[in-house]
């Protein structure tokens, strides 16, 4: 990962992913960058926000501004993990050379979910930066729910083979489709499923420290009660380089290794209520295990109800001093938005 003062980003071209980019075909979603940006490369290269070198914005009062480490550094700090505080018209992104990755999917039946996730918890706790593993609860090709692991090894392919083999021995997989591929191909794996949905509930997300027994129970219950063949829960793994960034260096407030659960109800045309109720029930089951605060990406008008603990403790020497020094030259609407966004994201003692 580049140092915070890195400059002269490489041009974006195939084989040079700009970040851990979560699921966009290009590997980069600008809006997700501002809130953090989890992905299958965050263990090696950090969050999408950690790879943001600068941006051009238009503030709420129409004022254009360019931000980076040397220009409006407080606003630059705020947009790396704190959300969007203006209309971003361009970004300068640090690119990384990535060859073929060892990736794919390993499917296990739901009856083995507990033992698989218990072992996965141990694996990701000790994982090197090159290995990131996403777990997904969804309906499999045979029409029954299961737990599906999506590993991505971004280092030397031969060195990654033992790690993939271990993931294939967590139980008796119903199928294994893992091999060398371009990172862009990995991002396209879910395209057909995404195109098949007709309705989508607002994603409910919460971050949990690890696959605790309570988290595993909640995920298994979600699988047993899936509201449709399209609904599911994706669990993203945050570790490695992303966890080593000093918490005070960006507005992204949780830098300890953790998981983020993304609960999405998808359905064919029809009544949305049962799918939204399923997503809500799953979120509430996970909430007691959640880390403080919400995730700025995907927070809507009712975000205060999505945050299990909206007043997380402020690390000493972290956010309040940064907020206090935000230049008063920015418009009042901007300062109000900054205050509201970061408080919703799980901070307190914010100075407007």
Does 270 map to a domain? yes
Q: Is the pLDDT reported for residue 101 higher than 50?
A: yes
Write down the mean pLDDT value for the chain. Answer: 79
- What is the C-alpha to C-alpha distance for residues 248 and 250, in angstroms, rounded to an integer? 6
**Section 55-62 average pLDDT:** 92
Does 85 map to a domain? no
Total Cβ atoms within 10 A of residue 172: 11
**What confidence tens digit (pLDDT) does each residue in 116-146 have?**
999 999 999 999 999 999 999 999 988 999 9
User: What pLDDT shows up at residue 115?
Assistant: 98
Domain hosting residue 152, numbered range = 101-306
Does 56 map to a domain? no
Query: CA torsion sign, 336 to 60 to 306 to 111?
Result: negative
Share of the chain above pLDDT 70, in %: 72
305 band by pLDDT with thresholds 50, 70 and 90: very low
Q: 88 is written with which tokens? A: 């971003």
Give the residues across from 109 on adjacent strands: 146
300 band by pLDDT with thresholds 50, 70 and 90: low
Per DSSP, the three-state class of 215 is helix
CATH assignment of the domain containing 152: 3.40.462.20
Does 180 map to a domain? yes
| C-alpha distances in Å from residue 350, one per residue of 41, 247, 304 | 32, 16, 16
pTM for the predicted model, two decimal places: 0.80
Domain count, the chain: 1
Does 76 map to a domain? no
**What confidence tens digit (pLDDT) does each residue in 189-211 have?**
766 555 555 556 666 788 999 99
Burial class (CB in 10 A: 0-12, 13-18, 19+), 162: exposed
Q: Is the pLDDT reported for residue 38 higher than 80?
A: yes
Does 63 map to a domain? no
User: What pLDDT shows up at residue 8?
Assistant: 33
Share of the chain above pLDDT 90, in %: 56
Q: Is the pLDDT reported for residue 307 higher than 90?
A: no
Would you give the distance in Å from CA 346 to the centre of its chain?
16
User: What pLDDT shows up at residue 314?
Assistant: 44
Residue carrying the six token digits 């990736």? 103
22 band by pLDDT with thresholds 50, 70 and 90: very low
Does 7 map to a domain? no
**Section 296-300 average pLDDT:** 67
Does 220 map to a domain? yes
User: What pLDDT shows up at residue 151?
Assistant: 96
Q: Is the pLDDT reported for residue 333 higher than 70?
A: no
The backbone torsions φ and ψ at residue 152, rounded to the nearest 5 degrees and listed phi first, read -140, 115
331 band by pLDDT with thresholds 50, 70 and 90: very low
**What confidence tens digit (pLDDT) does each residue in 238-280 have?**
999 999 999 999 999 899 999 999 998 887 777 888 888 999 9
**Section 18-45 average pLDDT:** 70
């Amino acid at each position: 990962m580049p140092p915070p003062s890195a400059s002269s980003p490489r041009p974006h071209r195939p084989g040079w992913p700009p970040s851990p980019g979560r699921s966009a075909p290009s590997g980069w979603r600008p809006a997700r960058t501002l809130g953090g940006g989890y992905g299958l490369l965050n263990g090696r290269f950090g969050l999408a926000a950690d790879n943001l070198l600068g941006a051009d914005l238009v503030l709420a009062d129409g004022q254009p501004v360019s931000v980076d480490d040397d220009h409006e550094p407080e606003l630059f700090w705020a947009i790396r993990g704190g959300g969007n505080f203006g209309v971003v018209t361009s970004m300068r992104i640090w690119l990384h050379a990535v060859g073929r990755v060892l990736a794919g999917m390993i499917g296990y039946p739901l009856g083995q979910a507990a033992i698989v996730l218990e072992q996965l918890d141990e694996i990701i706790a000790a994982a090197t930066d090159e290995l990131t593993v996403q777990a997904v609860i969804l309906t499999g090709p045979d029409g029954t729910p299961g737990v599906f692991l999506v590993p991505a090894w971004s280092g030397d392919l031969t060195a990654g083979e033992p790690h993939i083999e271990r993931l294939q021995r967590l139980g008796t997989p119903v199928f294994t489709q893992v091999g060398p591929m371009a990172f862009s191909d990995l991002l396209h794996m879910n395209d057909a499923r995404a195109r098949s949905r007709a309705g989508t509930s607002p994603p409910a997300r919460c971050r949990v420290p690890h696959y605790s027994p309570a988290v595993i129970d909640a995920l298994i219950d979600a699988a047993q009660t899936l509201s449709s063949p399209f609904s599911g829960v994706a669990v993203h793994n945050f570790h490695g380089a992303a966890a080593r960034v000093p918490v005070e260096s960006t507005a992204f407030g949780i830098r300890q290794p953790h998981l983020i659960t993304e609960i999405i109800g998808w359905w064919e045309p029809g009544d949305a209520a049962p799918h939204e109720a399923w997503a809500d029930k799953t979120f509430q089951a996970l909430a007691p295990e959640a880390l403080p605060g919400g995730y700025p990406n995907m927070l809507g008008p009712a975000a205060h109800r999505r945050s299990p603990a909206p007043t997380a403790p402020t690390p000493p020497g972290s956010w309040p001093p940064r907020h206090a020094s935000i230049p008063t030259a920015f418009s009042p609407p901007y300062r109000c938005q900054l205050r509201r966004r970061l408080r919703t994201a799980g901070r307190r003692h914010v100075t407007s």
